[in-house]
Chain A
Amino acid sequence: MIIAERKPLDEIKEMVKDYRKVLNVGCGGCTSICLAGGQKEVMILNRDLKEQLLGEGYSPVLDGFVIERQCNYDFFDELDNMVGGYDAVLSMACGVGVQFMAERYPETPVFPALNTVFCGADRNIGWFEENCRTCGECVLAETGGICPVTRCAKGLFNGPCGGTRLDGTCEVDKDTPCAWYEIYHRLQAQGRLGNILTVKPPRQWQNQTRRSLVQEDYKQRYAG
């Protein structure tokens, strides 16, 4: 899922302070699951923002609402009749949702309350780790299910650099495992070291321009 974190209160305040009526819209998708932009976080942000603005002599009207997902127009219907009544919208979705919101309501200023951080998984409650850079050309089959694009600081494709520490951590951070050290040991245990003994050629990066995708079965539907 997409992992996000809330921006500092001051930064959000600067965005919205000059708009009297602001609708803060949470997202029931990823940012809700990663505890950054769901129902509870909408309420907390509105409470803190209101207190801050009142303290500085503003008189804001801050309302909250959550839709199921901000990355699909089907879920925006219930917002359509509300947005017109506000001077600005604050979105607690990821960058995808913020852009969809801004596109849907082009006459209303839309502001991001979150920073979108990475694609990752839950390590524990409230603790997330990045695992995928959405490079578009997955090599996990060869690397024992450990992504060198994401987890090697240099994104190397041909094994560990000379900086791997003796305890198998990355030169960049002694608490971060060297991805290639882990790849080596996992493949070794599986008897699959042959995967990484040949020279991997330079790759053709698939993520250097904006991507769009139509699944094979739907190509006919959008043709012409």
Chain B
Amino acid sequence: MKAGSNLEKVLKAGHFAFTGEVGPPRGANVEAIRKKAGFLKGMVDMANMTDNQTAMVRMSSWAGSLILLQEGIEPNYQMVCRDRNRIAMQSDILGAYAHGIRNILCLSGDHQQFGDHPKAKGVYDIDSIQLISVVKKMRDEETFLGGDTLDVAPRMFIGAAANPFGVPFEWRVHRLAKKVAAGADFIQTQCIFNMARMREWVHQANDMGLTEKVYILAGVTPMKSIGMAKYMKSNVPGIDVPDEIITRLQGVEKKLVADEGIKIACEQIEEFKEMKGVAGVHLMPIEWEHRVPEIAERAKVLPRPQV
């Protein structure tokens, strides 16, 4: 065991992992997190706590992660390169580990231009792949990036993101390979809607032997409405929504659109359960945490394994 987190144990035991996500509040509203956590408890193996996503200021992800811990949900502490230099990052990693956080997700982060402080100075002292190598170095070599020995290593299960739909498409598997080489233990992908592309990317990862070295969790987001599908298609860089998804949502009665979105997500999950090289699903129900129990039930991923 590298870290001994619940997620690591679930994956190592060969179970199909099912993880969730909680966005922290835009304020110090602890109850908001507890409420979201309530919907996820017992439904997921661990839940991501996002780090100022879309560059909007929110409660810090380590603080949100601690509240998840209190609620009995294992957190995946997201850390972006946008807001901290290498000193602050290493310091936060130590602090997070000291408080019982065992999973970390290393990300570049959405550019500050997208957020509510568009002219903030972006830090980007190191990039997401370099951050992975820093966490690995702290864990496995018990040293800081600067080379000094540290006193009690943070034994984190190291996560990274991957976007199978970015361009150049043929490069994306190489970027995955670099993340694996840098030390990623698990990967959570961008929200998947283009299954053909996803299959091809996983196939490439299998061929390169990457899926033997890293656990890939496929990102699934249920479409809540036709408007959401259209918005994601045209306004969210890096997300690929094929027309057939929108056509399919348009093909049902208005009050059944959300149900159809969940149905599509469940079909995807069924396929991922059988897909060689995919070790689980990461569910990102954007502001739809209350529907997670229903989705988990319909996706037949319950009960979650006790390991």
Contacts and interface: CB of A to CB of B under 8 A. Distances in A.
A164 B122 contact: no
Interface string B51-87: 0000000000000000000000000000001100010
A198 interface: yes
What 4 pairs between A and B have smallest CB-CB spacing? A162-B163, A171-B237, A158-B129, A163-B237
B182 interface: yes
Interface in A138-192: 153-168, 171-172, 178, 181, 184-185, 188
How many B residues are at the interface, by size bracket? Answer: 35 or more
B133 A164 contact: no
A154 B81 contact: yes
B149 interface: no
A22 B243 CA distance: 65
A156 B178 contact: no
A200 interface: yes
Interface string A187-215: 01000010011111110010000000000
A160 B166 contact: yes
Contact of A166 (B109, B161, B182, B240): B240
B238 A202 contact: no
B175 A159 contact: yes
A163 B134 contact: no
A123 to B, nearest CB: 22
B167 interface: yes
B130 A158 contact: yes
A58 B217 CA distance: 71
Given A199-B182, A202-B86, A164 B166 contact: yes
A199 B171 CA distance: 14
A198 B134 CA distance: 16
Interface of B: 81-82, 86, 108-111, 113-114, 122, 124-130, 133-134, 145, 161-163, 165-168, 171, 174-175, 177-178, 181-182, 190, 237-238, 240
Classify the interface of chain A: helix, strand, loop or mixed: loop
Contacts, number: 105
Interface residues of A, number: 32
A122 B188 CA distance: 42
A190 B273 CA distance: 40
B129 A163 contact: no
B81 A197 contact: no
Given A162-B163, A185-B168, A199-B182, A156 B174 contact: no
A201 B240 contact: no
- In this complex, the member of A155, A161, A172, A197 whose beta carbon has the largest number of chain B beta carbons within 10 angstroms is A161
Contacts of A167: 167
B35 to A, nearest CB: 29
B127 A165 contact: no
A162 B127 CA distance: 13
A102 to B, nearest CB: 26
A162 B166 contact: yes
Given A155-B124, A167-B167, 17 more contacts: A153-B122, A154-B81, A154-B82, A154-B127, A155-B127, A156-B128, A157-B130, A158-B175, A159-B171, A159-B178, A161-B166, A162-B238, A166-B165, A171-B110, A197-B174, A201-B130, A201-B133
B130 A202 contact: yes
Given A159-B175, A199-B129, A154 B167 contact: no
